[in-house]
Amino acid sequence: MNGFGGFAVRRAAGAVVTLLALSVIIYVVFYVTPGDVAQITCGPRCSPAQVQQVSAQLHLDDPLYARYWHFLQGIVAGQDYSTGTSVQHCSAPCLGLSYQSDQQVLTLILAKLPVTASLALGSMVLWLIIGVGTGVLSVWRRGRLTERLLTTVTLAGMSTPVFVIGLVLMIVVCGQLELLPFPQYVPFTDDPEQWAWNLLLPWLSLALVESATYARITRAAMLETLTEDHVRTFRAYGVGERAVIGRHALRGALAPLIAVNANNIGVLFGGAVLTETLFGLPGVGREMVEAVKVVDLPVVVGMVLVTGFFVVLANAVADVLYALADRRVVLT
């Protein structure tokens, strides 16, 4: 348990450093990016005086380090924002206010997160089933027509953009066959059944694209394991092909699957822009695109930090799973 505690502490410290570095980079990038943020925020019809006022209000005239320091203070201690008439308090892990809407960034992100999380986790389940299943099948039928067919299909899957698959699915399933209504996000807490039905197509299109990668990883790792000595041992002891593949070869594919899946899911939590846009899902990805368009620095920084947080978290979870899957691995 001591070893695990040490691992957790080291990982947490690493995460803080990573996230700080990320925020600094975003601040610098946005600082050197051309464009008058105050003008954009205020709108095209603002007078120079109004622009000036907005600029002062958003501390845009302060030097970079002062603004960054202000941002860090907000995270640690919270911040009070005056919006002209009233004072808004943004409590402790405060990522600031959106330039555009004066809403707290954290609230904004947390409102979008369930959508993205629903999309990411649901499609993860599907792509693992489809991908690993396809991989196992192509190993089981290796050297035969089925394998060649599957290899071709997965290659096609890998090279097809998600919006093509999504569009085709939508046109066929919703438009032609009318099996499902056009997707419209329903929160899980409102109606779990409708939530699932509406997300089915987004899940499927994302999963189909991703599963190609997983099928390839599974197949490659299993084929490699099959050449190893311990597989020969079990064959020489009369263990059938089904057990050799299902028990011994698949187990060897677990580690690479965990590693790739962790990265994938972490990044997806930062938003699946194409899928969200195509299916009109109000998720983190779409919000991010909007924020970048209007140079809404606090929102962008907040989004990047949240994405970074999930990537770090997913990788830490992956390391734990990795160590559970392969007992030779020691967590450090």
Binding interface with other proteins (CB under 8 A): 228-230, 232-240, 243, 247-248, 251-252, 254, 325-328
By beta-carbon proximity to other proteins, the closer residue of 67 and 235 is 235
Smallest distance from the beta carbon of 325 to other proteins, in angstroms? 7
Contact by Cβ (8 Å): 225, 288: no
By beta-carbon proximity to other proteins, the closer residue of 10 and 232 is 232
Smallest distance from the beta carbon of 302 to other proteins, in angstroms? 41
Lookup: tokens for 17: 């450093």
The 3-class SS string of the chain reads: CHHHHHHHHHHHHHHHHHHHHHHHHHHHHHHHCCCCHHHHHHCCCCCHHHHHHHHHHCCCCCCHHHHHHHHHHHHHHCEEEECCCCEEEECCCCCCECCCCCCEHHHHHHHHHHHHHHHHHHHHHHHHHHHHHHHHHHHHCCCCHHHHHHHHHHHHHHHCCHHHHHHHHHHHHHHHCCCCCCCCCCCCCCCHHHHHHHHHHHHHHHHHHHHHHHHHHHHHHHHHHHCCHHHHHHHHCCCCHHHHHHHHHHHHHHHHHHHHHHHHHHHHHCCCHHHHHHHCCCCHHHHHHHHHHCCCHHHHHHHHHHHHHHHHHHHHHHHHHHHHHCCCCCCC
By beta-carbon proximity to other proteins, the closer residue of 44 and 143 is 143
Rg over alpha carbons for the chain, rounded to the nearest Å, is 24
By beta-carbon proximity to other proteins, the closer residue of 112 and 248 is 248
Smallest distance from the beta carbon of 239 to other proteins, in angstroms? 5
Lookup: tokens for 328: 């030779």
Smallest distance from the beta carbon of 323 to other proteins, in angstroms? 12
By beta-carbon proximity to other proteins, the closer residue of 82 and 227 is 227
By beta-carbon proximity to other proteins, the closer residue of 51 and 139 is 139
Smallest distance from the beta carbon of 116 to other proteins, in angstroms? 34
Cα–chain-centroid distance for residue 134? Answer: 24
By beta-carbon proximity to other proteins, the closer residue of 137 and 254 is 254
What is the longest distance spanned by two Cα atoms in the chain? 86
Cα–chain-centroid distance for residue 184? Answer: 21
Smallest distance from the beta carbon of 77 to other proteins, in angstroms? 38
By beta-carbon proximity to other proteins, the closer residue of 231 and 313 is 231
Smallest distance from the beta carbon of 241 to other proteins, in angstroms? 9
Cα–chain-centroid distance for residue 21? Answer: 19
Smallest distance from the beta carbon of 260 to other proteins, in angstroms? 18
Smallest distance from the beta carbon of 238 to other proteins, in angstroms? 4
By beta-carbon proximity to other proteins, the closer residue of 5 and 44 is 5
